[in-house]
Chain A
Amino acid sequence: MTAPPSALPPVIADWFAARDWSVHPHQHAMLERAAVPALLLIAPTGGGKTLAGFLPTLAELGANPAPGLHTLYISPLKALAADIRRNLATPIAEMGLNIRVEDRTGDTSQTRRRRQRADPPHILLTTPESLALLLSYEDAPRIFAGLERVIVDETHALAESRRGDQLMLGLARLSALCPGLRRVGLSATVEDPPALAHFLAPHPDPCAVLIADSGPAPDITMLDTPTPPPWAGGGGRHAIPAILDQIARHRTTLIFHNTRAQAELFFRDLWLANADNLPIAIHHGSLSREAREKVENTMVTGGLRAVVCTGSLDLGIDWGDVDLVIQVGAPKNVKRLVQRIGRANHRYNAPSRALLVPANRFEVVECLAALEAVREGDLDGEPRGPGARDVLCQHILATAAAGPFNADTLFAEVTRAGPYTALSRPQFDACLEFAATGGYALRTYDRWQRLMQDADGRWRLRDPRIAQTIRMNLGTIVDAETLKVRLKPSRGGAPLGEVEEAFAATLTHGDTFLIGGQVVRYEGLREMVVEVTRSPAREPRIAVFTGTRFATSTRLADRILALFREGDFSALPSHTADWLALQGRVSRLPTPERLLVETFPRDGRHHLCVYGFAGRNAQRTLGLLLSQRMEDAGLAPLGFVATDYATLIWGLEEITAPANLLESNALTAAFEGWLARNAVMKRTFRTSAVIAGLIERNQPGKRKSGRQATFSSDILYDTLMKYDPGHVMLDITREEAMKGLVDFGRIEAMLARVQGRIDHIACPRATPLAAPLFLEAGRIPLKGMAEQRLIDEAAARLMEEAGLGQAHAHHAEKGV
């Protein structure tokens, strides 16, 4: 294809020609449509998307641009911003263009940030959080004066979280500051391009969509291993010899795992088996920045043959040398699998090569279903819900930090953002009221005032000094509470990564655990840092990370159930086919029209297993609902664990009539009342409360402390439930919980599907299909009667062990 001469300036054309590169059709198209106000480019990974996004900017700026910000580039990763800066520097220099490119992220120094505000570069590369911060400054209009284009990279990934909500509010603000601003979105292949365009559009104006050629079909197969995958659990360690063999036969291999814990375990065993000392590294989100950067840099220079990684490498740096992607564990979601596969062979028109490694026998089935879906191009995805209103609360505060605002104008502005087009005025007003006064039913105190209206009705900060606190608390990523892990100062003090506080709390002196592929020994806690030493221990514990885990998509689950119903396992390896046959003999196989429920005893507890195939989140909600009903029935449930296909509940009493617990109307009726009380709601509340500014993560001049001064967000939740149940934060919490973690819609769909056809099988022991559940992380404890029973039992035992039994035993009677 030849572009019209007007679209591709000679300097750019010459540069491509000098490299013997051809301009991709979609890169031409981006130049031709440079004047379109909003444009979404959807291209497969490796399609030269980023360059396509920047070409119009380079063409417009030309050799000697006037000073001032021309293009803002936003990516979800700090590392990506830095990488793009390096990658842009080369063509800009070689084309002889006098264009200044700088990045600005949380890692940028104060000095540099101040200079950027005073004298912005032509192209500024940043993240949604840094943009929100820039927009909260009073001089935002001056910083962004003259801005022509904004490029949103990895739009599909940003649209999956609140970061996308925050960014779209930011773009609405930018469009108000810079009329005529054009926006471009860059996205990997998605199942519903119009929905993504709606997300990005400057409403009521539309966003056009440009879909690039999807390239050749990927070369993807299941890895055949001499050793069958284990019956349960996994992590793919059975496949290590076969995977090492693949690494040796390729230039660079990315080995994706679904969880950090599995990546750690796998990496350790891979390293032990690595007789040829191939350079292999590990990369995941809980490792220290230093450790991750070292891996990334070595990767870029071609110094690594393989990287064991998690979703932390789903996005980002173009590694042209990757020629094989291995997905260990079932992919859960076909769209994400296709995007991961695209990481191999970052050359347009070259097929990506990928291998799936099921980690256990159930995953063999899931991988088979996923392979079929990839071949048929059957992508999955759940529709995006409305924008989170906790993010809106934060945006209102940030807007006030930038200067006084008019409520009508701000409402008009935020409803131009895709996620908030359906926001009602009362919803907006409730968020504004929350930001201003806390929005409580009780109105007695004039002290509850963060914003106030001035004489002409504009809202402003009551105390301008809190602008700093607002800025320090911007951002929508609320992590589980974690503690940093570092080597003891006497051993170098190097930061290794972080573990969740809940895991750290279970460690005692001398315990060993895995982090960054090393076994370390817990030495103690010093100023909220876990200090460790290296340890030669062979049986370390595994740090549990409860990071984001995606639910198996409805479409993939349906494919698996259909496979079971057909009963034709000939496409499966014999070990898996035999296992399913065994399940069929011992119990039976789940099918789409019926609900299989098993009960069995194990380890002195009674177990109930429900195979709903509704995805991890819905199965967890089912666990919470069922355990509540069990608690009410005096069945003393202790806890449960949920996977994508089943929920396993254990307790002190045997379940003889599970069908009663699962009765559809009762479950649905119980849902509303139950929703208020469960742990998922409290976790969701904490996240929303932090984002909305009810809980401050950071305060100026104050050291973060976990001492008496801070108290649990659960207390705030309980107080609101008791005294102010109609409060907007509870409303927001319900909406956010329903979106992802609760997913009650899939339970309703499952109940509608089975229409009361429940098969209860009582077994003498755990069944083949139930076995993997015992190795699942993320067990959820229940705080019912059973907890008090445990405390009663343990208290006596612990006192006895400590030799304190006599002194206190006779007092533990009923008093008063």
Chain B
Amino acid sequence: MNGHRFTLAGAELCVMPSGALWWATERILTVSDLHLGKSERVARRGGPLLPPYDTDETLARLENDIAATDPARVICLGDSFDDDLAARTLPDMARARLLSLMAGRGWVWITGNHDPGPNGLNGAQLAQTALGPLTFRHVARPDSAPGEVSGHYHPKARLTLAGRRITRRCLLTDGHRAILPAFGAYTGGLAMDAPELDALMQPGAVAVLIGPRPSPVPMRPAGRLRNTGRGS
């Protein structure tokens, strides 16, 4: 498998082609923003009737990564479900697939803004968790200690290469924190030059483009340290 390795607060991490984060020495697999049950929630609320296959697709991606890494522990960084009801009304098939993934390994559900309540599943449900030098939470805190791993923003990169526009999900890291891309099938993204992300990431931040071979590019174009606030 192709991955991109980097170091965060002394931990050797690897960005996988799916957008998951693999910590080999601790055998921890981290995924963020699965948004399971999104199409169901949209339909329930009178929105468009989206194809009801997103949960299957997201679980299939997770099964792939778990089969490839056999993690001792899986951390879901929040917004694992599109809302609390989606967690409780997960279809039987999907629930069975999830339970078989959880069997025999540790599982942490970090709570997110979409799924703050109890999800009725096994595993630990926590607001955040610290493991060695790393702290895992849903939304990055501006004042966090080094070694923060979070999700929430669904960062994506837009590049113009050889006259073409390329849009990819990406993981942002600056040596202080890492912000994971959304893992779920039906997820959009926030451009990495958005002010929210710009404010969080230090100069020299890197965006690792998700794809068959995750590749790092500078988060900000050469010659610009931080956004001046004029927009970009």
Question: Known contacts A639-B164, A708-B182, A816-B16: does B54 contact A795 (CB below 8 Å)?
Answer: no
Question: Known contacts A438-B52, A811-B4, A816-B24: does B57 contact A638 (CB below 8 Å)?
Answer: no
A438 to B220, CA, bound (A): 42
Question: Known contacts A524-B230, A711-B187, A812-B216: does B206 contact A804 (CB below 8 Å)?
Answer: yes
The segment from A304-312, A402-410, A719-727 found at the interface with B is A719-727
Q: Looking across the interface, which residue of chain A has its beta carbon closest to that of B1?
A: A816
A720 and B161 contact, CB distance less than 8 A: no
Interface centre among B158, B211, B231 (most CB of A within 10 A): B231
A509 to B189, CA, bound (A): 23
A230 to B231, CA, bound (A): 40
Question: Known contacts A710-B188, A798-B218: does B24 contact A445 (CB below 8 Å)?
Answer: no
B216 and A502 contact, CB distance less than 8 A: no
A715 to B61, CA, bound (A): 14
Residue A759 is within 8 A (CB to CB) of chain B in the complex: no
Q: How far is the CB of A749 from chain B (nearest CB, A)?
A: 31
A506 to B51, CA, bound (A): 33
Question: Quick one: which of A243-287 are within 8 Å of B by CB?
Answer: none
B186 and A804 contact, CB distance less than 8 A: no
A788 to B163, CA, bound (A): 15
**A695 partner residues in chain B, CB cutoff 8 A:** 48
**B24 partner residues in chain A, CB cutoff 8 A:** 816
Residue B185 is within 8 A (CB to CB) of chain A in the complex: yes
- B53 is contacted by which of A450, A723, A816 (Cβ under 8 Å)? A723
Residue B124 is within 8 A (CB to CB) of chain A in the complex: no
Residue B145 is within 8 A (CB to CB) of chain A in the complex: no
Residue B73 is within 8 A (CB to CB) of chain A in the complex: no
A722 and B57 contact, CB distance less than 8 A: yes
A715 and B185 contact, CB distance less than 8 A: yes
A735 to B13, CA, bound (A): 47
B218 and A802 contact, CB distance less than 8 A: yes
Residue A525 is within 8 A (CB to CB) of chain B in the complex: yes
Residue A523 is within 8 A (CB to CB) of chain B in the complex: yes
**B226 partner residues in chain A, CB cutoff 8 A:** none
Residue B49 is within 8 A (CB to CB) of chain A in the complex: yes
Question: Known contacts A787-B166, A788-B212, A807-B204: does B153 contact A708 (CB below 8 Å)?
Answer: yes
Q: Looking across the interface, which residue of chain A has its beta carbon closest to that of B213?
A: A788
B217 and A798 contact, CB distance less than 8 A: yes
Q: Looking across the interface, which residue of chain A has its beta carbon closest to that of B93?
A: A444
Q: Looking across the interface, which residue of chain B has its beta carbon closest to that of A787?
A: B166
Question: Known contacts A695-B48, A815-B2: does B216 contact A795 (CB below 8 Å)?
Answer: yes
B22 and A816 contact, CB distance less than 8 A: yes
Interface centre among A440, A469, A709, A779 (most CB of B within 10 A): A440
Residue B131 is within 8 A (CB to CB) of chain A in the complex: no
B5 and A505 contact, CB distance less than 8 A: no
Residue B43 is within 8 A (CB to CB) of chain A in the complex: yes
**A755 partner residues in chain B, CB cutoff 8 A:** none
Binary interface profile of B, 158-176, with partner A (CB < 8 Å = 1, else 0)? 1111111110000000000
Interface centre among B22, B47, B153, B215 (most CB of A within 10 A): B215
Residue B46 is within 8 A (CB to CB) of chain A in the complex: yes
Q: How far is the CB of B229 from chain A (nearest CB, A)?
A: 9
Question: Quick one: which of B14-52 are within 8 Å of A by CB?
Answer: 14, 16, 22, 24, 40, 43-44, 46-52
Residue B91 is within 8 A (CB to CB) of chain A in the complex: yes
A815 to B57, CA, bound (A): 25
B204 and A791 contact, CB distance less than 8 A: no
Residue A693 is within 8 A (CB to CB) of chain B in the complex: yes
B232 and A505 contact, CB distance less than 8 A: no
Q: How far is the CB of A41 from chain B (nearest CB, A)?
A: 41
Residue A466 is within 8 A (CB to CB) of chain B in the complex: yes
A543 to B13, CA, bound (A): 42
A801 and B222 contact, CB distance less than 8 A: yes
Question: Known contacts A524-B232, A723-B53, A804-B206: does B186 contact A792 (CB below 8 Å)?
Answer: no
Q: Looking across the interface, which residue of chain A has its beta carbon closest to that of B92?
A: A444
B43 and A526 contact, CB distance less than 8 A: no
Residue B11 is within 8 A (CB to CB) of chain A in the complex: no
Q: How far is the CB of A519 from chain B (nearest CB, A)?
A: 20
B57 and A438 contact, CB distance less than 8 A: no
Q: How far is the CB of B20 from chain A (nearest CB, A)?
A: 11
**B200 partner residues in chain A, CB cutoff 8 A:** none
Q: How far is the CB of B49 from chain A (nearest CB, A)?
A: 3
Taking chain B's interface residues, is the majority helix, strand, or loop, or is none over half, making it mixed?
loop
B232 and A808 contact, CB distance less than 8 A: no
Binary interface profile of B, 130-166, with partner A (CB < 8 Å = 1, else 0)? 0000000000000000000000011000111111111
B211 and A506 contact, CB distance less than 8 A: no
B161 and A811 contact, CB distance less than 8 A: no
Binary interface profile of A, 796-808, with partner B (CB < 8 Å = 1, else 0)? 0011011110011
Q: Looking across the interface, which residue of chain A has its beta carbon closest to that of B153?
A: A708
A719 and B53 contact, CB distance less than 8 A: yes
A794 to B221, CA, bound (A): 12
**B204 partner residues in chain A, CB cutoff 8 A:** 802-804, 807
A813 and B5 contact, CB distance less than 8 A: yes
Q: Looking across the interface, which residue of chain A has its beta carbon closest to that of B182?
A: A708
Q: How far is the CB of A720 from chain B (nearest CB, A)?
A: 5
Q: How far is the CB of A716 from chain B (nearest CB, A)?
A: 6
**A-side interface residues, number (CB < 8 Å):** 68
A445 to B190, CA, bound (A): 31
Residue B3 is within 8 A (CB to CB) of chain A in the complex: yes
Report, as a range, how many residues of chain B touch the other chain: 35 or more
- B188 is contacted by which of A523, A639, A711 (Cβ under 8 Å)? A711
**A807 partner residues in chain B, CB cutoff 8 A:** 204, 206
Residue B209 is within 8 A (CB to CB) of chain A in the complex: yes
Question: Known contacts A695-B48, A711-B186, A788-B212: does B57 contact A719 (CB below 8 Å)?
Answer: yes
Binary interface profile of B, 84-108, with partner A (CB < 8 Å = 1, else 0)? 0000000100000000000000000
A505 to B156, CA, bound (A): 13
**B182 partner residues in chain A, CB cutoff 8 A:** 708
A779 to B166, CA, bound (A): 14
**A506 partner residues in chain B, CB cutoff 8 A:** 160, 165
A716 and B51 contact, CB distance less than 8 A: yes
- A816 is contacted by which of B3, B188, B211 (Cβ under 8 Å)? B3
A508 to B231, CA, bound (A): 10
**B213 partner residues in chain A, CB cutoff 8 A:** 788, 791-792
**B209 partner residues in chain A, CB cutoff 8 A:** 791, 795
**B198 partner residues in chain A, CB cutoff 8 A:** none
- A445 is contacted by which of B91, B166, B189 (Cβ under 8 Å)? B91
Q: How far is the CB of A70 from chain B (nearest CB, A)?
A: 39
Residue A703 is within 8 A (CB to CB) of chain B in the complex: no
A638 to B166, CA, bound (A): 13
Residue B56 is within 8 A (CB to CB) of chain A in the complex: yes
Residue A790 is within 8 A (CB to CB) of chain B in the complex: yes
A787 to B217, CA, bound (A): 15
- B43 is contacted by which of A445, A723, A791, A798 (Cβ under 8 Å)? A445
B218 and A815 contact, CB distance less than 8 A: no
**A524 partner residues in chain B, CB cutoff 8 A:** 230-232
A551 to B222, CA, bound (A): 42
A694 to B52, CA, bound (A): 12
Binary interface profile of A, 637-649, with partner B (CB < 8 Å = 1, else 0)? 0110000000000
A716 to B232, CA, bound (A): 29
Binary interface profile of A, 694-737, with partner B (CB < 8 Å = 1, else 0)? 11100100000001111110011001101110010000000000
Identify 30 residue pairs between A and B in the complex whose beta-carbon atoms are under 8 Å apart, listed by A's number.
A438-B51, A440-B51, A442-B53, A447-B40, A448-B43, A449-B43, A505-B158, A531-B231, A639-B164, A707-B188, A708-B153, A708-B154, A708-B190, A709-B188, A722-B53, A723-B57, A781-B164, A788-B213, A792-B215, A794-B162, A795-B215, A795-B217, A798-B218, A798-B222, A807-B206, A815-B2, A815-B5, A816-B1, A816-B16, A816-B69
Using a CB–CB cutoff of 8 Å, the interface residues on chain A facing chain B are: 437-438, 440, 442, 444-445, 447-450, 463, 465-466, 469, 502, 505-506, 508-509, 523-526, 531, 638-639, 693-696, 699, 707-712, 715-716, 719-720, 722-724, 727, 779, 781, 787-788, 790-792, 794-795, 798-799, 801-804, 807-808, 811-816
In the A-B complex, the 9 residue pairs with the smallest Cβ-Cβ separation, listed nearest first, are A438-B49, A815-B3, A524-B231, A711-B188, A802-B218, A781-B164, A723-B53, A795-B215, A801-B222
